[in-house]
C-alpha cells in the first residue's frame, strides 16, 4: 500500500514538473527570491532617480535665476558704461569751453592792461605840440613883418624907436621859433627877460 502511494506521488510530481527531477524545485525558489530582490532594487533605483530628477530640476531653476541675474547685471553694467561715456564727453566739452574762455581772456588781457596803464594825455603837452607846429609859420610871418617894419622905420626916419621895434619883433620871432618847453610860465618869463634886455 505504501509502495503504491509512493509511486502515485512520484508520478504526480513528474506530471507537475513536466518530467524534471526533484532537484529543480530549490533552484526555482532561489530564482524567485532573486527576482524579488531585483524588483526591490529596481524600486530603490527608481526612487533615487526621481530624487535626482528633482535635484536636477532645482539646479536648472537655480541656473536660470543666475542667468537672469547675470543678464540684469550685464544690462546695468552696459547702462553704467554708457553713462560714464556720456559724462566723459560732457566733461571734455566743458573743458574745451573753459579753455577757450581762458584763451580769450588771456588774449584780451594785454589790451585791457595797455588801456589801464596808458598815461593820460596832458592838455598842455598837446597844446605845446600844436603851438610848436604852428610857431614856424608864425615866426616866419613875424620875421618877415619885422623886416618890413625895420626897413620902413629905417627908410622913413632911422630913429631909435624903429630900431627898438625891429629888435622887439626879432626877439619875438626867435622866441616863437624855439622849441616848446614843458612849462609855459618859464617860456613867457624868459621871453619877457629877453625883451627887457633888448629895450
Which of 64, 84, 115 terminates a domain? The answer is: 64
Asked, for residue 42, whether it belongs to a domain, the answer is yes
Asked, for residue 115, whether it belongs to a domain, the answer is no
> Average of pLDDT values for 66-88?
90
Domain count along the chain: 2
Q: What is the dihedral of CA 190, 191, 194, 195, to 10 degrees?
A: -150
CB 198 within 8 A of CB 192: no
Asked, for residue 187, whether it belongs to a domain, the answer is yes
Q: What cell numbers appear for 154 in the block?
A: 629905417
Q: How confident is the model at residue 12 (pLDDT cuts 50, 70, 90)?
A: confident
Q: For residue 47, what are the domain limits?
A: 2-64
Q: How many residues does the chain have?
A: 199
Question: For residues 56 and 107, which has the higher predicted lDDT (pLDDT)?
Answer: 56
CA distances from 151 to 12, 69, 135, 144, 163 (A): 198, 122, 23, 10, 9
- For the entire predicted model, the pTM comes to 0.30
> Average of pLDDT values for 113-136?
48
DSSP 8-state symbol, 21: -
CB 139 within 8 A of CB 173: yes
Asked, for residue 144, whether it belongs to a domain, the answer is yes
Asked, for residue 87, whether it belongs to a domain, the answer is no
Asked, for residue 7, whether it belongs to a domain, the answer is yes
pLDDT of residue 48: 93
CB 135 within 8 A of CB 127: no
In this predicted model, what pLDDT tens digit does every residue of 153-172 receive, in sequence order? 444 444 566 676 677 777 77
Which of 64, 88, 114 terminates a domain? The answer is: 64
pLDDT over 70, % of the chain: 51
Asked, for residue 109, whether it belongs to a domain, the answer is no
Which of 64, 83, 106 terminates a domain? The answer is: 64
Asked, for residue 149, whether it belongs to a domain, the answer is yes
DSSP 8-state symbol, 157: T
Question: Strand, coil or helix: what is 10?
Answer: helix
3-state SS string for 106-144: HHHHHHHHHHHHCCCCCHHHHHHHHHHHHHHHHHHHHHH
Amino acid at each position: 500500500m505504501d509502495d503504491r502511494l509512493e509511486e502515485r506521488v512520484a508520478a504526480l510530481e513528474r506530471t507537475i514538473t513536466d518530467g524534471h527531477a526533484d532537484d529543480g524545485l530549490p533552484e526555482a525558489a532561489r530564482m524567485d527570491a532573486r527576482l524579488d530582490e531585483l524588483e526591490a532594487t529596481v524600486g530603490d533605483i527608481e526612487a533615487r532617480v526621481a530624487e535626482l530628477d528633482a535635484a536636477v530640476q532645482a539646479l536648472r531653476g537655480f541656473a536660470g535665476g543666475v542667468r537672469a541675474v547675470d543678464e540684469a547685471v550685464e544690462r546695468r553694467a552696459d547702462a553704467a558704461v554708457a553713462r560714464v561715456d556720456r559724462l566723459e564727453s560732457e566733461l571734455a566739452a566743458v573743458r574745451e569751453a573753459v579753455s577757450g574762455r581762458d584763451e580769450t581772456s588771456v588774449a584780451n588781457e594785454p589790451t585791457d592792461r595797455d588801456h589801464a596803464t596808458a598815461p593820460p594825455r596832458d592838455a598842455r603837452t598837446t597844446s605845446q605840440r600844436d603851438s610848436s607846429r604852428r610857431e614856424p609859420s608864425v615866426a616866419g610871418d613875424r620875421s618877415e613883418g619885422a623886416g618890413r617894419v625895420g626897413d620902413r622905420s629905417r627908410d622913413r626916419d632911422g630913429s631909435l624907436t624903429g630900431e627898438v621895434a625891429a629888435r622887439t619883433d626879432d626877439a619875438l620871432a626867435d622866441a616863437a621859433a624855439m622849441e616848446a618847453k614843458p612849462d609855459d610860465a618859464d617860456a613867457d618869463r624868459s621871453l619877457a627877460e629877453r625883451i627887457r634886455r633888448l629895450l
